[in-house]
Structure 1
Amino acid sequence: MAESVNVRISGKLIKFVKERTGPEGMYESVSEYIRALIRQDYERLEEHRWQRLRGELEPGMNAGEDEFVDVSADDVISRNRGKQKS
């Protein structure tokens, strides 16, 4: 369900918004413009998060087979139990 949010803007900003909306603007309404700005900001943040995650995973993805160590589930459980006791 959509919620209503009120925003006050004045001066140069309201003039700019009016230029971007309405019959001569790129957006039909101020609401449509604000939704688009929020969506763009959200998508930019999500892309930044993905890029950061890719950067963290990249060394592992590019590692050679000789850099990996075989471990069993029991090894992992034992190691983690040891960390909990510390």
Structure 2
Amino acid sequence: MTVRLSGALSDFVAANIGENGSYENVSEYIRDLIRRDKERADKQAFDRLVAEVRHAFAAPESSYKVVTAAEVIARNRT
């Protein structure tokens, strides 16, 4: 994988590498950025799921509908 940076982005990365930076090399920096982005995306997905579950549990019990496992499977196939 190749990434090309120039100008301000290149300078910013260079400032974060080496003796005075937080990372030993560019690869370490990029891996950390990707890990952080993945954690952010995972947290967003989890938060959406929690919101859906909270919404479902907040619904009045009268709005619930009894369905069979076969009906759920059939609905999910479409």
Superposition TM-score tier, normalisation by shorter sequence: 0.7 to 0.9
Unaligned runs of 5+ in 2: none
Residues 7-86 of structure 1: pairs in structure 2 closer than 5 A: 7-62=3-58, 67=61, 71=66, 76-77=68-69, 80=71
Unaligned runs of 5+ in 1: none
Q: TM-score scaled by structure 1?
A: 0.70
Distance in 2 of aligned mates of 1:49 and 1:18: 33
Shift in alpha-carbon separation, 1:76–1:6, aligned structure 2, 3 A: same
The total of aligned residue pairs comes to 73
Shift in alpha-carbon separation, 1:31–1:51, aligned structure 2, 3 A: same
Matched letter for residue 68 of structure 2 = V
Identity %: 40
Q: Which runs of 4+ in 1 moved over 6 A?
A: none
Aligned-residue Cα RMSD (Å) equals 2.6
Shift in alpha-carbon separation, 1:11–1:77, aligned structure 2, 3 A: closer
Higher Cα radius of gyration? 1
